[in-house]
Amino acid sequence: MNLRRDVFQAIADPTRRAILLLVAAQSLTAGAIAANFGTARPTVSKHLQILTECELLKQEQNGREIFYHINAKNMKQVADFIEPFRKMWDDRFNVLEAVMKAYQKKNKEH
């Protein structure tokens, strides 16, 4: 199994990213997670299944309920998690380059 590819696919979906962020804050039951979304409960269950299968989430039995929590060890291995951070700096530096090229051109003309 290509875990990395699966993980990437798992976090490519906005709902699954939202679930990860929710569960990152605190362990929750499937019902509590579903309550945050406008989608049907089975849809959320499917997302939870995918996230559990690629080991981003872990299930833990607590009494009669199952709680989902973040598999921190695996999350850290997800380099893609910092991709938006990289993108933020890349965008920012692209603007810097454009701004300075315009500045250079303006000063050459004068």
Partner 1 sequence: MERKTKINAEDGKQDIMITREFDLPLELLFKAFEEPELVAQWMGTKVLKLECKKHGSYQFETTDNKGNKHGFNGVFHEFIPNTKIIRTFEMDSVPFGVQLEITEFEKLTDDTSKLNMHVIYESVAQRDELLKLPFAQGLNWAHNRLEELLKTLK
Q: Residue numbers of the site for partner 1 (CB under 8 A)?
A: 14, 17-18, 21, 24, 76-77, 81-90, 92-97, 99-101, 103-104
- Identity of the residue, 26 or 104, whose beta carbon is nearer to partner 1 in the bound complex: 104
- Identity of the residue, 61 or 107, whose beta carbon is nearer to partner 1 in the bound complex: 107
Tokens, residue 57: 């989430």
**Which residues are 70's β-sheet partners?**
57
Task: Work out whether the CA dihedral 31, 36, 41, 45 comes out positive or negative.
Answer: negative
- Identity of the residue, 35 or 88, whose beta carbon is nearer to partner 1 in the bound complex: 88
Considering the complex, what minimum distance in angstroms separates the CB of residue 67 from partner 1? 21
C-alpha to C-alpha distances, 103 to 90, 96, 108, nearest whole angstrom: 20, 10, 9
